[in-house]
């Protein structure tokens, strides 16, 4: 069997085009232009690229982008003051603080200072609780992107065995919640799971979000399973250049899987596309307008 390669780049381009259509209609019919504020603290090179791309794609979708770049030595008080200012700014519908933050800043305190209705990353404790209890929530972008691709591929996910490897707050846990909401039978596995290979081989849907380069080999995969690779590991290649590889050993797994996301070009591009969806959704909710249909799951 040769796996279907799920083209996240193409899928994300479609989502962005639909967001742009909705934004154009929103402007024309209601005079509203959604706005997204991105806050970057410090000079992590990968974060700088992500924030730049977020700004570029926000503008391409017809929305306002506000970028706040703060020095690495920014104090907690200074960062909280900026968030408070953005919370009360009516032109800002979505706020995100790029992670990771420099070590002296308290990530959880900072995230929970964002107004929950503007928390387009879906990391605020209120949104976490709302997702877990089946209420209307802002859903974290990477898991939302994974779910959109899974729904497109499978249609209904009801009754499927899903194993999520990784228990982070930004990917593993919300991914598991979303799959549970789709009526999958969900297992969250991690580094301490006994006989991880056997657990993973039960999966119809295997989501790898462990942050360990090429850890998932064919021994972990049931024949025909759908494998979603959330890993973004930077490695130095033999030619000295930097390359990007996932948590899944693509060469080993793709002959066995039914479908697989590559890295790069799989889950990654969906993260920013879903951020645009969440910003548009936040703007509609704030103005009491119907939420965009057909954009998400």
Say which of 57, 98, 214, 247 is annotated catalytic. 98
The verdict on whether residue 151 carries a ligand-binding annotation is no
CB–CB of 259/91 below 8 Å? no
Strand order in the sheet with 226-229: 4-5, 259-260, 226-229, 205-208, 161-165, 185-189
Please check if 47 is assigned to a binding site.
no
**Scanning residues 45 to 64, which ones bind ligand LMY7XDAE (CB under 6 A)?**
49-50
Among residues 57, 118, 119, 121, the one annotated as catalytic is 121
Question: Which C-beta is closer to ligand LMY7XDAE: that of 97 or that of 163?
Answer: 97
Decide the pairing of beta strands 161-165 and 185-189. Answer: parallel
- Which of the ranges 58-66, 156-164, 210-218, 267-275 carries the binding residues for ligand LMY7XDAE, by CB under 6 A? 267-275
Element (H, E) at 207: strand 205-208
Q: Which helix (H) or strand (E) holds 94?
A: strand 94-97
Structure tokens at 53: 């791309």
* Rounded Cα–Cα distance for residues 196 and 109 (Å): 34
Task: State the Cα–Cα distance between residues 145 and 15, nearest whole angstrom.
Answer: 10
Q: Which stretch binds ligand LMY7XDAE (CB under 6 A): 16-24, 78-86, 212-220, 259-267?
A: 259-267
Q: 26 or 170, CB closer to ligand LMY7XDAE?
A: 170
Nearest approach, Cβ of 41 to ligand LMY7XDAE (angstroms)? 11
Q: Which residues bind ligand LMY7XDAE (CB under 6 A)?
A: 49-50, 96-99, 121, 141-142, 232, 244, 263-265, 268-269, 271-272
The catalytic site residues sit at: 54, 98, 121
């Amino acid at each position: 069997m040769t796996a279907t390669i799920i083209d996240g780049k193409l899928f994300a381009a479609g989502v962005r085009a639909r967001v742009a259509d909705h934004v154009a209609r929103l402007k024309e019919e209601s005079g509203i232009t959604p706005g997204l504020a991105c806050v970057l603290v410090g000079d992590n090179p990968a974060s700088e690229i992500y924030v730049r791309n977020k700004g570029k794609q926000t503008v391409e979708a017809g929305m306002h982008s506000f970028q706040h770049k703060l020095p690495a030595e920014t104090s907690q008080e200074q960062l909280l003051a900026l968030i408070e200012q953005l919370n009360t700014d009516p032109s800002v519908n979505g706020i995100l603080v790029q992670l990771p933050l420099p070590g002296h800043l308290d990530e959880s305190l900072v995230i929970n200072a964002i107004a929950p209705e503007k928390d387009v990353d879906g990391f605020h404790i209120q949104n976490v609780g709302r997702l877990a209890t089946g209420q209307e929530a802002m859903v974290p972008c990477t898991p939302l992107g994974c779910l959109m691709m899974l729904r497109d591929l499978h249609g209904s996910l009801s009754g499927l065995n899903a194993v999520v490897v990784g228990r982070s707050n930004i990917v593993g846990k919300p991914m598991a919640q979303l799959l549970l909401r789709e009526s999958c039978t969900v297992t969250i596995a991690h580094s301490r799971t006994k006989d991880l290979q056997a657990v993973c081989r039960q999966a119809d849907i295997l989501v790898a979000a462990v942050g360990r380069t090429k850890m998932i080999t064919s021994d972990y995969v049931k024949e025909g399973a759908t494998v979603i690779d959330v890993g973004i590991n930077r490695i130095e290649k033999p030619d000295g250049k930097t390359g990007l590889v996932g948590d899944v050993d693509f060469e080993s797994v793709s002959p066995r899987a039914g479908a697989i996301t590559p890295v790069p070009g799989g889950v990654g591009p969906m993260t920013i596309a879903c951020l645009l969806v969440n910003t548009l959704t936040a703007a509609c909710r704030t103005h009491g307008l119907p939420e965009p249909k057909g954009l998400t799951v």
